[in-house]
Structure formats: C-alpha cells, structure tokens
Amino acid sequence: MFLSLLVCSKILYMNTQAHHVITDEHLIDEALSRSVAEILPSKDSLRRELQSGRRLTFYLGIDPTADYVHLGHSTNYLMLERFHALGHRIIVLIGDFTAMIGDPSDKTSMRVQLTREQVLENLQTFKAQIGKILDFNDIDNPIEFQFNSEWLSKLTFEDSVELASNFTVQQMLERDAFKKRVAAEKPLFVHEFFYPLMQGYDSVAMDVDVEIGGTDQTFNMLAGRTLLKRYKQKEKFVMTTTLLENPETGEKLMSKSLGTGVGLDLNAKDMFFKIMQLADAGIYQCFVDCTRLPMSEIAIIKNRLNDGENPRDIKKDLAREIVSMYHGASAAVDAERQWVSEVSQKNLAKDIDVIQVDAHESIIDIIVRLGITKSRGEARRLIKQDAVKINDSKISSEDTPLTNDDILRIGKKHTLKVVLRSYQ
C-alpha cells in the first residue's frame, strides 16, 4: 500500500539531463560556502556531485505562517538563486499541509495550528515578495512552486504508522526544541512528532537531491534523508544556512516583534531607513547573506570596517545595494538622498563644528587654512583618495562648489557645516 502510494504521489516532472549544468569550480565553491552553516553528509561529496554535471534537484520548504518576508529569509532564496544559475532544478515547496500541524522548531511551546484558509491568505503576497529574488518566469529552467498537501493529504492512517515506524521516541526526544520542553515540564503533544515525519516525506515524494533550510530545520531535514534512504535507497544532502544575527550579542538582526525586521514588501525609502537602523556589528554579515555582491568585493568592505572607516558610511553602501536589488538603482539613490536630508544632517546639526567660508574659497584653500594638511599638494591627494565628501558624496575635483549649509567631511576626523559669509 505505502510503496504504491510513493509511485502515485511522485512528481511527474522528472530530473533529466535536458538543461545545461554549469560546473565552474569557482561558482560552485562560492555556492557551497556563502551563507552555509553546514553540509551533510559532507561538503566534499556534494561538490563532487555538482562537478559531475548531473542536474540535481534542490528544494526549500516554507510554512506560510505569515505573509511577511524579511532580509533574514532572503538568505535561503539567494542561495537557491545561485544553484538555479548553475542550471539545477529548484523547487519552492509551500507547506500548506504541514502549516496546519505547526512546526515546533526552536519553540518553547506548541506553535498555533493554521487553517488552510489562513495559509492561502498568507500566500497572496508571499510569492510576489520572494519573486523579487527568484525568477519564476524563467522558461528555460522554470522554478517550481509546489504544495505538500498534494501528497500529504492522501496519506492514510496506515501510511502514517508506516512512516512513524522509521523513528524511535528517543530520536524524537533528542530534538533540541522537544528536549527543552521536557526539561521545563511544558506540554509536548503527540501530533508534534508528525511534523518531521511529514517534512521528511516531502523529500521522498519529490525525489530531491538537496534540501536547504535554517539550522532550526536540521532535525526535520535529516528525517527526510532517513526516509529517502529507506524507501528509495538514495542519498540526500542537507544544507543549513547561517542565521542573520549580531555577532556581538547573538541577537537576531531581523525581528518583526522588536521592530528590526526589514521586510521585502517595504517601499524604497522605508527599506533604506530600516537598514540604516541595523546594528553596526551586523554590516558585514548582511553584505554576505543579503546581497549579490561577489565575495571578493565584500572582502574589501570587510577591510574598510577593520581599518576603522565610519560604519555609517559603509552601512549606506549596504542600504543602497539592497534597495537597488528590490526597487532599482534610481529608487536607491532617491532613498539615500532622503535619508541624508531627514536624518544624517539633522543629527549632525546638534554638535557639528561650523566654518565660515568666503564665496571665492576653494576646498583646497579651506583644507589648508584649517591646518588639516600642511600643503595644497597634500589636500589634493586627499581628494584623489576619495577622503573628501560633500553631503556624504565623494568629490573628484577641487573646484567643486560649496553652498550654504553643506556638510563637508575631510578624512575621518573632520566634519564641518559650511556657512557662506554672504548669508550672514
């Protein structure tokens, strides 16, 4: 009965060699290391599979318990995007059935079960948000959007018993979330054991090669690995992604309840402003996990941070990069201008030094007059090194004019508000 059900529920889309698979070692290495916490059974074995040219099936399962997608979630979709670019088959699985059970991952109490109507309501904007990262319109290598109710709703009680026979109660109680609940003498309901069984069966039904998920999903993903070996004698790789958190405090950088979440549905201005409010310590990880910048460029950004450059300036680069991804470069530039106008200059006005400038004075004249450099040649070198900014924009010419109330930055130590004598 159960084995025949496997055949009936198998997805008709077969994993074939029809699509061109890219085996570039550099691209594979970045895909296997960027935002990756762990690869099971091993990174080397998955690398060999990717370099073989065989087209693999990757999947990410999501329970739409809310209609809100933030930058912390984007890490998984950017990872899927990298494997999609290599030519592999990608499935985004909506856990419309498992959401009705409630995933107990990393929870100290039972998660509220959702009705199918609530799940479908949350889905209304969900696809549009993640579609800003994943190309659901790719005809040559279409990204699939599937629902696990297609096969889980067909399981009989006999099938469920068969599934459960592959695991022991001791194995279930080893799960960290369950262990904490038992230790705290909090209720642990029997139906919660079914969640990893159901998620594990997803891997069998779709006949996948790789599952991607957060570290809180490791137990569930390994359940799928066990079931694939049991019913199809097939290996499945598990890739866990890094959590977007403050490295100094360990706190999550994205939290809707704390008001720190940067939603993908925000407009350009609100997104830029929210990113500028993130903790400085999380800047580097946000570049790694939330942008498409090559790691070679991110390494340069890390050096800038280590060299003591003002984190606010680097965070503006981060905000501009991310807003460009979701709203375009022009919208990002406009959002930055609004931030400078509404926030940056207001904060500076509280304690900034004011300098009086004659209309005919050049920036070179001002730098030398203030004693910041000993010669005009040194002042010119500062400009060539992009160390002189007006209103947070780098200048390339010593002839760049100054206007009243401009904010002039010279190096890392000098921030000045310009007052033209003609305005006094």
Residue 396 is encoded by which pair of tokens?
A: 């390339």
- How confident is the model at residue 276, as a pLDDT? 92
**Residue closest to 68 by CA, chosen among 297, 266, 240:** 266
Q: Which two tokens stand for residue 346?
A: 């207001």
Q: What is the pLDDT of residue 403?
A: 80
pLDDT of residue 377: 87
The confidence score (pLDDT) of residue 141 equals: 93
Would you state the pLDDT for residue 101? 64
- Residue 358 DSSP one-character state: -
Confidence (pLDDT) at 363:
87
Dihedrals phi, psi of 239, to nearest 5 degrees: -115, 120
pLDDT for residue 235: 94
Give residue 260's pLDDT.
Answer: 73
With vertex at residue 75, the alpha carbon angle to CA 72 and CA 77, rounded to the nearest 5 degrees, is 120
Tens of pLDDT, residue by residue over 259-288, are 678 999 999 999 999 999 898 999 999 999
pLDDT of residue 4: 42
d(C-alpha 196, C-alpha 214), whole Å? 14
**Is 261 in contact with 68 (CB distance < 8 Å)?**
yes
Q: Which residues pair with 417 in a beta bridge?
A: 354, 407
| Residues 83 and 208: beta-carbon distance below 8 Å | no
Distances (CA, A) of 226 to 147, 201, 203, 233, 275: 22, 10, 10, 10, 40
Residues of the chain with pLDDT under 50: 1-5, 7-17, 105-111, 424
* Distance from the Cα of residue 182 to its chain's centroid: 32
Q: Which stretches of 148-225 are assigned E, i.e. beta strand? A: 210-214
Which 3 state secondary structure label does DSSP give 231? helix
Residue 102: the pLDDT is: 57
pLDDT of 399 = 81
Is 412 in a helix, a strand, or coil? coil
Measured in degrees and rounded to the nearest 5, phi and psi for residue 371 equal: 75, 20
